[in-house]
Structure 1
Amino acid sequence: MPLPLEGRSAIVTGAGRGLGRAEALELARLGAAVVVNDYEQPGPGGTTRAEGHRGGSVSPSGTPAESVAEEIRAAGGSAVAHLGDVADHESARDLVDLAVREYGKLDVLVNNAGNLRDRMIFSMSEDEWDSVIRVHLKGHFNTTHFAAAHWRSRSKAAGGGPVYGRIVNTSSEAFLAGSAGQPNYAAAKGGIVGLTTSTALALAKYGVTANVICPRARTRMTQDVFAGFPKPEEGAVDPLSPDHVAPLVGYLASPAAGEVNGQLLIVHGGMVAVMERPRVAAKYDTAKDVFTYGELDDVLTPYFAGRPPGETFASPEVLTLRHD
Structure 2
Amino acid sequence: MASTGPGTPSPRSLDAVASNSLAPRVLRCRHRREGVTGVPHAECRRRNARRRDREADAKLADDTFRAAKAHNAELLRLEQEHDTQTALTTMRRAGMIAGVNPPRPDPREPPNETDVEILLRVKEKRPEEEEEEVREPEQTGSRGARRAAIQKHRTKKKKQEESHFEIELKRFRTVEKIQGFKLGPIGVRYLVRDLVLGACPRLDTLDLGWNHIGRQGVKFLSDGFKRKCAPNLTRLDLRANLLMPNSIELLLEGLVKGQVKLKVLDLRANAFKDDGGCLIASLALEGCFDTLEELHLESCEIRSRGMWALFQAFQAEARGKLFPSLQHVGLRHNRAAPETLRRMKNCPPWIAF
TM-score by length of 2: 0.28
Larger Rg belongs to: 2
Q: Which structure has more strand as a fraction of its residues?
A: 1
State the structure with bigger RCO (CA 8 A, min sep 6), 1 or 2: 1
TM-score by length of 1: 0.30
